[in-house]
Amino acid sequence: MKILIADDHALVRNALAFMINAQADMEVIGDAADGNEVFMKIENLPVDIVLLDISMPPGENGLVTTKRVKEAHPNVKVILLTMHDEESYIRGALAAHADGFVLKSATDEELLTGIRNVFLGKRYYAGYDEEALNEIAHGQEDRLYASLSKREKEILPLIALGYNNKEIAERLFISVKTVEVHKANIRKKLQLDSYASLLQYSLKHHLIDF
Task: Return the pLDDT at 51.
Answer: 97
Q: What is the pLDDT of residue 143?
A: 72
How far apart, in whole angstroms, are the C-alpha atoms of residue 26 and residue 19? Answer: 10
**What pLDDT shows up at residue 203?**
83
Instruction: Give the pLDDT confidence score for residue 140 in this predicted structure.
Output: 54
CA distance 160 to 157: 5
Question: What is the structure's pLDDT at 210?
Answer: 59
Is the pLDDT at 142 greater than 70? The verdict is no
Please report how many Cα atoms fall inside a 13 Å half-sphere around the Cα of residue 209, on the Cβ side.
Answer: 18
Residue 36 is predicted with a pLDDT of 85
Q: Which residues pair with 209 in a beta bridge?
A: 59
Per-residue pLDDT of 46-102, as tens digits, reads 999 999 999 877 777 888 899 889 989 999 999 999 887 777 788 889 988 999 999
Which residues, at least 6 apart from 50, have a Cβ–Cβ distance to it below 8 Å? 3, 4, 5, 6, 38, 42, 69, 76, 77, 78, 79
Residue 95 contacts residue 125 (beta carbons within 8 Å) = no
Higher per-residue pLDDT: 133 or 177: 177
pLDDT at 190 over 70: yes
In the predicted structure, residue 130 carries a pLDDT above the cut 90: no
Report whether 189 contacts 181 (CB < 8 A): no
Mean of the per-residue pLDDT values for the chain?
89
pLDDT digits (tens, 9 = 90+) for 12-24: 999 999 999 999 9
The model's pTM = 0.71
60 φ/ψ angles, rounded to the nearest 5 degrees: -70, 150
At 193, is the pLDDT very low, low, confident or very high (cuts 50, 70, 90)? confident
